[in-house]
Each structure stands twice: as C-alpha cells, then as structure tokens.
Amino acid sequence: MALKILGLSGAVSHDPSAALYIGGKLVAAAEEERFVRDKHAKNRMPYEAAKFCLNQAGIKPIDVDAVAIPFAPVSLFGKARWHYARRYLYAPERAIDAILTGNRRYWRYRGRIEWCLQQLGFDPGAIVIEPVEHHLAHAASAYLCSGFTEKTAIVGIDGKGEYATTFFGWGENGKIHKIKEFYDPESLGGLYGALTEYLGFDMLDGEFKVMGMAPFGDATRHDFSRLARFESGELVVNTDYVNVVGLKRYKEKGKGYYFSPKLVEWLGPRREGDVADEPYVHYAASVQALFEKLSLEMIEYYLGDIIRETGKIAFAGGCALNVKLNQRIIARPDVKELFVQPAASDAGTAVGAAAYVSQRRGVSVEKMEHVYLGPEYSNEDVIAACARHTSRPRWKKLDKVPEYVAELLAQGSPVAWFQGRMEFGPRALGARSILGCPSVPGVADRINAQIKFRERWRPFCPSMLDTVGPQMFGESHPAPFMTFTFDVKEEWKKRVPEVVHEDGTSRAQVLRREFNPRYYDLMKALEKRTGNGVVLNTSLNRRGEPMICSPDDALAMFYGSDLEYLVMQDILVEKK
C-alpha cells in the first residue's frame, strides 16, 4: 500500500493549508482562505482544505498513515527559549512565559489540529500526529521538492516559527543537516514586516507592496543600518526600533505595531493612503536594500563554500518570496540554480512537513514541477453556477478557447481566465488569472483602476512561452513559479511595456507546455497576432480578497468589477 501523509499547517495563526502525499507524489494541496473567502484565514484550521485533499484523492481518514504538522515542542535545554527570554526582558511577562510555559502555543495548536481531524472523521485515538520543527518544514519544502540530487545549500528566512526565524543548512541524499538558526527577535522577516506596517500596509500581505514601491525610491537617501547588523556570524536586530513587543510598541487608534515610537521620532509619521510619495518611497528602497545586504552576507557566511562546491540552493520561508533578493542570489557567478518553493510562506509548510515525514518513513517525494494542485470544475459546474447567479449571466460554449481569448486580448480587452486545477501558493500561474495584452498601452492601468482596485504603482507580471524567456531576459534560469525578477532586454521593454517595472525588471513565469497546455496555447495564439508570446497575468481577485476558487466566486468577482469577459473552462460569460 502506498504511504499516505497528510500535512496540515496553521500553527502560527495564519495561512492554514493542507497537502497530501501518496507514495511520494503530491496529489493535492490548497489553502483554507480560498474556500472560506477570508484572506490568510487567520485563527482558522485547514478543515476545508483537508477535506478537499481527501476527496481529490478519493480516500477516507482511515486510509491516512500519518498527519504531519509544521510545529514542534522546543526543549528548555536548547538556546531558543533562553535567547528569546533574554532579549525580551523589557517585557518580563513574555520572558517568563518563554521559560516556564514555552511550548504552550504548540500544545494549543496540536489540540486544535486534533479537533479539526475529529470533524473530518479521523479517529483521535488511532491517527498518528508527527510534529516537524517549523523551519525544518520550510527547509524540507524547499530541498525535498527541488529535485536536486547534488549537495544543496538550504536557506529559510521568515518572521518566526516556534522561536527560530532563520535557518541555514544543507541537504544531501534526502537528509537535511542544520548549520545555524537565529531566534526571535533576530528576524529579518520581522524587521521587514515592521517597516511594512510603518509604511501603511498589513503584515503578511503588504511586504509585496513595499517591494513594489522600492524601485521608485533612492536607497542612498537614508541609512537604515542602525536597524540591524550581521557581525561575526551573528544577526542582531535593534529592538529599540523594530521587532518590539508589549509596552514598547507604537500604538495608534488602539492598535499596537511591531515598531516603536522611536522609529516614528526618527522617520516621521506612519504613512497612510495609496500614494507612493516621498519620503516613504525612499524608506521602502532603504529597507529593501538593507534586507538584501544582510541576507546575502548571511548566505555567504554560512553557505558560501557549499554553493561554490555545487551551485545549488533551495530557499523557503516568507522572505523567499522577495523576488529582488532572489535575483541577486541568482546573480552570484557560482550559483547554477536556485529553487524557491512556490508556496514559500507558512502555507507551504504543510507540504514541507508531509514531505519530511514521507522521506523519514522511507518514501522519497517527487520534484515539484507545477502547483496546479487545487480544485477543478467542469463545464457543467460552470453552467450550474451561472443558473444560480442573480444576474442570470448570458453564456456560450466556445470551440477554440485559446484562439478566441487571444483575439480579445489583442483587441485590448482584459479577460478573466478560469481554467483547470487552482494554483497552490500566492501566485496566479494561468489557472485563476486576469489576463491582458502587454503590448496594448494602458491595459495595466485599466486593470488596476477598474478591476483590481489596487495601488496604481504596483507592477504587473508576465507569463511567457519557454521559447521567449531566454530572448526577453538573456537568461535561461528556470522560472516556472514567478519567484524571480530578471532584467528585461531593451528591445522587449518596447515590445511589452505593460509588464516591465520601474527598475527595468519583470517577475516572470516561463511556462513549459506540458504543465498547462491550454494556457501555453493561448500565448502561442497571442504570439501569432502580436509577435509576442507574452501575456500580462495577475491573480483573479479583487483587492483584499483571496484568489478565486470556484465558479460561484468567479461570478461574484466578475459582477463586482468592470470586467467584460470571463472564460471558465469552455464557457464564455460576457456582460450585456
């Protein structure tokens, strides 16, 4: 019988998800937010996501061999809890709690997982729950899914797991070896998150906005080096300014933030609104520059020799979604390939924990080639959703979907594209997307203003044929998941200006046909009409909402925006 491991994340009160491995193959993975329509699904358990995974595989709870969770007890005799207590002595209740009841969060989480499993029909007395350290789950999600057979450098950088914030190690023959961890408050993810809050955005989501704002600023205008330093192998974050807790936090309108009043005294009032204005664009540039500098220094210090030996790196944790840092890592002359686990944030730890337990039980997991791992809906499902909708949508069945949609795009119309199994992770990769033609002037502004309702300065990204990537970037590094930016060649800046960011880069998906044939054929059809096998691609959702999952979700979004065309499987819905 094939080994069946169910991974369930949600330990750190956000981004719960489920992933199911059967015989080393990842057969399903999904985030809870998509089903419950609550972005990041804070303080929820992955009930709907787990139910989907079991149904997709056609198995029952009794068939599951083990449930893997990406959170584990931390010993009092290690460094982690003592480091946390010492650095947070200014908040004595936190420090004492770390020493006396430092695993309380683990036991609370495990209890909630057990409750969730009972609701799903598991026998609580029979199911085996295997805890995996949070950063080990991140590391496993990167290394074990990379497909790398050589010795591989492993990096994990995020806000915080149990106590650890940063992981450096290496993998070989399916085994992961830890070299160094840093512990809270020594967290680059926490530092970046604190500045994200200061710049007027929410943590977990706004970091992408800070990264998008940074190219509009000048990092040399402000020296942010006082916020953190890396010396003699140790990272130290300045908790006079950021990563603060308790009474040290800056408070506004009853809400506490992860930065202190001292930061406001230094930089001025916290930013508000949607405009990318001075001096805040320069602050965004400065924190991005500091983040890149410290990350690269730490990678070189702990992993430089391993990288020079084999050239392979696997990277996960929320900070692995910082595509500008990833571009600089790839730029190292000794790097042959960087694999960034596409659901690198905490949602991906469900995959990592399950992969780690599968490997530990003797079943190696397959390379992650794609993330089309969520629900799929038939034409009949789409037609039924249209019949249910109050607007009584007009619909028709298309014979040649890629050609029809390519013609709409070439004429300048954005199109909502709902095809196949939903993506796992934060990037729209041609299953739940809004598409535009990147050579049509103004299409990005139109999508921003009329459909996405988001900040005008945020960039749009291209999907492209695998034949186009090397031409557009002069770079053949694999990029299937939109986890890297590349410098765009001058000719292509003129050909597809709507997907080139302020700094002359693009965050690209370079697609091989075998993983999404219909999306690939759409780009081929667009190439025949415009000469460019590139499409503007952004996620099918509105600002502040999770990506669309079902046809009902898609219709609700369609009639709540100025979109004119929605194509779900073979069904075209258009507004009168």
How many angstroms separate the CA atoms of 42 and 486, rounded? 33
Average per-residue pLDDT in the chain? 96
Backbone angles phi, psi at 115, to 5 degrees: -65, -45
Which amino acid is located at 282 in the chain? H
Whether residue 132 contacts residue 68, with contact meaning beta carbons closer than 8 Å, is answered with yes
Among 461, 454, 471, 444, smallest CA distance to 531 is for: 471
Q: 3-class SS at 423?
A: strand
pLDDT of residue 157: 98
- β-pairing, 415-418 vs 164-172, is unpaired
Taking the model in full, what pTM does it have? Answer: 0.97
Q: Is 59 helix (H, G, I), strand (E, B) or coil?
A: coil
Structural contact between residues 190 and 243, judged by C-beta atoms closer than 8 angstroms: yes
CB 304 within 8 A of CB 126: no
CATH of 182-340, one of 1.20.1260.10, 3.55.50.30, 3.40.50.1580, 3.30.420.40: 3.30.420.40
User: CA nearest 153: which of 136, 177, 134?
Assistant: 177
- Alpha carbon separation from 412 to 105, 287, 494, 530 (Å, rounded): 52, 37, 17, 11
Q: Strand, coil or helix: what is 346?
A: helix
Answer yes or no: are the C-beta atoms of 49 and 16 closer than 8 Å: yes
Q: List beta partners, residue 536.
A: 436, 462
> What parts of the chain have a pLDDT lower than 50?
none
CA-nearest of 544, 565, 553 to 434 is 565
Answer yes or no: are the C-beta atoms of 35 and 55 closer than 8 Å: no
DSSP codes of every residue in 354-422: HHHHHHHTT-PPPP----B-S----HHHHHHHHHHSTT--EEEE-S-HHHHHHHHHHTT--EEEE-SSP
**Pair type for strands 17-22 and 4-8:** antiparallel
The values of phi and psi at residue 71, to 5°, are -165, 135
pLDDT value at position 456? 66
CA distances from 450 to 88, 444, 506, 562, 565 (A): 46, 10, 23, 6, 13
Q: Which residues of the chain does CATH 3.90.870.20 include?
A: 379-574
Per the structure block, which two tokens stand in for 156? 């994990």
Burial of 576 (0-12, 13-18, 19+ CB in 10 A): exposed
Beta bridge partners of 203: none
Upstream peptide bond of 279 is cis (omega within 30 degrees of 0): yes
pLDDT for 482 equals 98
Q: CA-CA-CA-CA torsion for 304, 133, 10, 52, nearest 10 degrees?
A: 90
β partners of residue 417: 433, 567
Residues 186-207 pLDDT 10s: 999 999 999 999 999 999 889 9
Each residue's pLDDT tens digit, 85-102: 999 999 999 999 999 999
Cα–Cα distance list, 4 to 17, 24, 352, 358 (Å): 17, 8, 14, 8
CATH class of 379-574: alpha beta
- SS3 state at 331: coil
- By the 8 A CB rule, do 89 and 27 touch? no
CA dist 233 and 179 (Å) reads 12
Strand pairing category for 432-436 and 534-539: antiparallel
Residue with the two structure tokens 């469900």: 350
